[in-house]
Structure 1
Amino acid sequence: METPSEHPVLTADSLQTVHRRSPFRILLTLLSMLVLIIAGVFFGLIPRWHQQQELHAEVRDKGLPRVIVVHAKPATGAGQAMLPAEVKPWVEAPIYARISGYLKQRFVDIGDQVQAGQLLAVIDTPEQALELARARAQLEQAEAALGISRITAARWAELLQVNGVSEQDAAEKQADFKLKTAQCNSAKEEVRRLEQIQAFTRITAPFSGTITQRNIDAGDLIVANGGKELFHLSQTTKLRVLVQVPQQMAKGVEIGQSAELSLPGQSARKYPAKVIRTAGAIQPDSRTLPVELALDNVKGEILAGSYAELRLIDMKVGKVLSLPANTLLFRPEGPHVGVVESDGKVVLRKVQIGRDFGQRVEILAGVRPEDRVIANPPDSLSTGALVSVMPEKQPEKPSEKQAVKQPEKPDEKQPGKQTEKSS
């Protein structure tokens, strides 16, 4: 027999609460299903839409020429460039003959160190010696005639005072004395001239230095002003360094600026130099600034006339960009590059080229670092053409891959070896 407590009793209030909750649950269920349907449609259509967009872009790109772009980078070492230089003696002079004759004797040879005024060679001039002897004899005659004329003029002046001779005769004797005086002076000057010419038979060094050339030997015929250089004398304890600085670097050159010089085959050795003067004007044929530097060479480590490379220190130059050489297009108007705009159109820009480093070229004007410049552009490229830019490849880091793979290889082999041993 069932008791009344085993079955719940439904009252009017409980029935009313059940009827109120049922529509709310149905509405919540419907909303949840609607949200799920919308989310399913959304997440299902979005990938399709992306795929369609990628497909359209791929179809569009396949119809356009694909290009690789690069960006202009700052030129490395723009202010530290090595410039070709020429090393010259501080003072040098060719030595010629001022008198004709035969070389009697020479006292120096190539490489000899000489002092100022040192005797280098002697020229034998027999004709010149005879002329000097005759001039001296004529001077003796003129002096003797002058002495007689002086005595005669003095005596006739005394006789004129006592009316022993006429005034006309006394005047003639005075005139003859002046004539003999002039003739004697002329003979003296002739002797002095010939003695100075005779002194040219002794070839002496005009300054201290080194004999770098010797083009004569004993017995050679020497012709005055014949154009044959007897010796070449150079002062090499101090050297001049001549360098042509490019126009874009000319503003960074200052008097007193330091520099480093290196010789071929001795790149590890640096010789200090200093700027002493500049030409002050750009050469129109080469567009360079001639600069002269001083270099001490007391130890004689650098040979005059050598080719060298010079690096100017603390160059104050502006920011110079560079591009790969394969980006240039040479047109009749000058060099151009192709720049891809944001809309995919190409614009040809005229550029100004600086120094050529082989694989890269300095660009002085025409491009900016943010410009996308086409590499290996076709000759038919023109302004307004549409192109497709290939994505830039990110540089890989093989060192990291190797570091990851190397420990894996021995771990894979070890189990195999253990199984072989165990078997």
Structure 2
Amino acid sequence: MNQLPFKPLTLGLLTASVLTLAGLGLFATRTQAADAPKAAAAPKAALTVSTVQAKSSQLPVKLSANGGVAAWQEASVGSEASGLRVAELHAGVGDSVKRGQVLATFASESVQADVALARASLNEAQANAAEALANGDRARAVQGTGAISAQQINQYLTQEATAKARVASAQAQLDAQLLRLKQTQLLAPDSGIISARSASVGAVVGAGTEMFKLIRQGRLEWRGEVTSAEFARIKPGMTVLVTSPGGVQAKGKVRMLAPTVDAATRNGLVYVDLLAASTAGQSLGGAFKPGMYARGEFELGSTGALTVPQTAVVVRDGFSYVYRVGSDNRVSQLKVQTGRVVGDQIEIQSGVKPEDKLVASGGSFLSEGDTVKVVDATDSKPKAAVAPVAPAQAATK
């Protein structure tokens, strides 16, 4: 078979094509080698975050203290009559009573007999007094005429005065027995709640024996213990929020401060009137009991403070930190001192400036020097999907 010799022009074209391809391959290899350091120099973002800045706010200043709940005043209700037997009890522990309500009844048969005897003595004295008064009137009528001697006249007048005194004495004895009869019913000295009952039916009690204890007007107070250094910050009329062990909160108002401080503990008592329970469905009497230990917060006013969202603060190893985002999107860990917490905001006492841009949330996933991608809070929300364009619509555009 005869081989066709290549023409010089064809060989030249083939050689030029091979050289061109080789040059293009060498250029691509050099370009990739030049772009490799740039790709290595741009680290991948560890997290997509939004930033916040500390803002100035007015936060309330509160002082916490512990103390016991006690009755505002507790009245001791006892028997006034002596030697009477308890016939019936009309009130028990926990009952609400009104002023003048009957709490107990004593057997009154012996007292009624004494009343009848005193009334009879009074009637006898009044009869004798009437006769003495008539004799005195007659003596005064003939006085100076000589019909009756002066000695006899003085005797009649003396008998008249004695009879009047006996009537007064008999009346006083009757009043005393009537008072004893009234005391056969033990009445509540004030409205309130029965807190204790020591009487029993059938017992014979003496005068002054305590039978009931009464929380006057149902009023309770909280006696908070504060240190002598904090004592001067509290004034009468301040508002207090008292929380019971069950979590029920009641509003209170400072009534007075103790005039002395305990020399052993250096604590002073603050007397707070409990006004009403603020938790729905709970009454003050049902949530707070005398002898209960409770916690209270005194509202001392408000002061300015720098606050950030609580999500911006990360707690590690017992310390609080925030992450500041730099101009190169690298984060730096800042140790901060936190203070009061109100809602979702927390006070930053030190470690942050108002112009610092801080990671709003997710700081627990970051470390010192990490790179983050910063987006606006609105951009971080998912956007609505855009409907794809149909091929026919795309062709018309």
TM-score of the superposed pair, with normalisation by structure 2? 0.56
Letter in structure 1 aligned against 2:275? D
2:112 aligns to what? 129
Shift in CA distance, 178/404, structure 1 to aligned 2, threshold 3 Å: same
Amino acid at match of 1:195: L
Per-residue displacement from partner, 1:383-410 (whole Å, max 9, x unpaired)? xxxxxxxxxxxxxx974249969xxxxx
Identical-residue share of aligned pairs (%):
20
Is 1:192 the counterpart of 2:175? The answer is yes
Structure number with higher helix proportion: 1
CA distance in 2, matches of 1:399, 1:236: 59
* Gap runs ≥5 in structure 2: 1-60, 278-282, 303-362, 372-397
Partner SS state of residue 297, structure 1: strand
**Alpha-carbon distance in 1 for matches of 2:369, 2:113:** 98
Is residue 313 from structure 1 mapped to residue 295 from structure 2 by the alignment? Answer: no
Partner Cα separation in structure 2 for residue 294 and residue 398 of structure 1: 45
Determine which of 274, 286, 290 is the counterpart of 2:253: 274
Q: CA 1:273 to 1:129, structure 2 compared with 1: closer, same or farther past 3 Å?
A: same
Aligned to 2:184: 201
Give yes or no for the alignment of 1:303 onto 2:299: no
Structure 1 partner of 2:202: 219
- Which of 65, 73, 93 aligns to 1:91? It is 73
Deviation at 1:230, TM superposition (A): 1.4
2:366 alignment partner AA: E
CA distance in structure 2 between the partners assigned to 1:310 and 1:193 by the alignment: 52
8 Å Cα contact 2:105-2:186 kept in structure 1: yes
Q: CA deviation at 1:80?
A: 4.0
Q: Report the TM-score, using the length of structure 1 for normalisation.
A: 0.53
Structure 1 CA distance for aligned equivalents of residues 202 and 218 of structure 2: 33
In structure 1, runs of 5+ residues without a counterpart are 1-78, 317-396, 406-423
Distance 1:86 1:142, change over 3 A: same
Distance 1:398 1:225, change over 3 A: closer
Higher-strand-fraction structure: 2
In the alignment, what sits opposite 2:123?
140
Matches of 1:265 and 1:302, distance apart in 2: 7
Instruction: Tell me which of 240, 255, 276 is aligned to 1:259.
Output: 240
Partner amino acid, structure 2, of 1:183: R
- Please state how far the C-alpha of 1:127 moved relative to its aligned partner: 3.7
Distance 1:236 1:196 in 2: 27
In the TM superposition, what is the alpha-carbon distance from 1:161 to its structure 2 partner?
A: 4.5
Alignment correspondent of 2:160:
177
Counterpart position of 1:106: 89
Partner in structure 2 of residue 400 of structure 1: 366
Residues in 2 aligned to 1:84 and 1:174: alpha-carbon distance in whole angstroms: 77
Residue of structure 1 aligned with 2:228, choices 244, 247, 258? 247
Could you tell me how far 1:275 is from its partner in structure 2?
A: 0.8
Distance 1:285 1:126 in 2: 57
Relative CO higher for 1 or 2, CA cutoff 8 Å, sep ≥ 6? 2
Distance 1:297 1:204, change over 3 A: farther
Count of aligned positions: 247
Aligned to 1:382: none
Shift of 1:84: 1.6
Give, in angstroms, the shift of residue 103 of structure 1: 1.1
Q: Deviations over 1:266-285 (max 9, x none)?
A: 1xx43221111112332323
Answer whether contact 1:238 1:297 (CA < 8 A) is retained: no
Residues 247/315 of structure 1: CA separation in 2 closer, same or farther (3 Å cut): farther
1:234 aligns to 2:215 (yes or no):
yes
Structure 2 residue identity aligned to 1:308: A
Query: Over aligned residues, Cα RMSD in angstroms?
Result: 3.1
Task: Render the CA deviation track for 1:351-389: whole Å, top value 9, x for unaligned.
Answer: xxxxxxxxxxxxxxxxxxxxxxxxxxxxxxxxxxxxxxx
Per-residue Cα deviation, 1:26-60 (whole angstroms, up to 9, x for no partner): xxxxxxxxxxxxxxxxxxxxxxxxxxxxxxxxxxx
Once residues 109 and 173 of structure 1 are traced to their aligned partners in structure 2, the CA distance between those partners, rounded to angstroms, is: 60
- Matched-pair contact (CA < 8 Å) for 2:253–2:275: no
Shift of 1:237: 4.6
DSSP-derived class of the 1:88 partner: strand
Q: Which amino acid aligns with 2:288?
A: L
